[in-house]
Amino acid sequence: MTITIYQDIFVNLIIDGNLCEPPSSVSCFRDITFWAKIFSYEDVILCCDIGTRVFYRNWLRRNGAYDFISYIMYPEEGEDGVWLVQRDGRLRNRGVPIDKISAENYWNVIDFITLDS
């Protein structure tokens, strides 16, 4: 999958909420959101099921991983952007599927989300 970005266009990184939960590493998840927010994207958005927005916000805050999340959305809200989705999750047809965010695949995820201008 090739992503072409033009210099003055900002893009969202949308991450499936399942990727912030174990077996993903919370610290690696936070580092991915940091990298995305600082170097490539205007907004980092977490996508979750209806009725779980408060749960994810509280869980991420409690675990120190909420500081680079711009918004928590539902899939029905229709935001555009680059999607990171769980391989066996219900959003798997929307973006690049990965099993988890961990030290083993950290640099692969960074390579994918880094946009060349």
Q: Which residues pair with 47 in a beta bridge?
A: 16, 73
How is residue 11 written in tokens? 């893009």
Tell me, what DSSP letter sits at residue 51? T
Boundaries of every domain in the chain: 12-110
For residue range 18-53, list pLDDT tens digits in order: 999 999 999 999 999 999 999 889 999 999 999 999
CA dihedral 87, 17, 13, 100 (to 10 degrees): -40
- When pLDDT is cut at 50, 70 and 90, the band that residue 93 belongs to is low
pLDDT class of 117 with cuts at 50, 70, 90: very low
Any long-range contacts for 54-60 (C-beta under 8 Å, 24+ apart)?
Answer: 56/17, 56/20, 59/20, 60/20
Decide if pLDDT at 3 tops 70: no
Task: List the beta strands (DSSP E) in 31-95.
Answer: 43-47, 71-73, 82-86
60: tokens are 């991420």
Is residue 69 predicted with pLDDT exceeding 70? yes
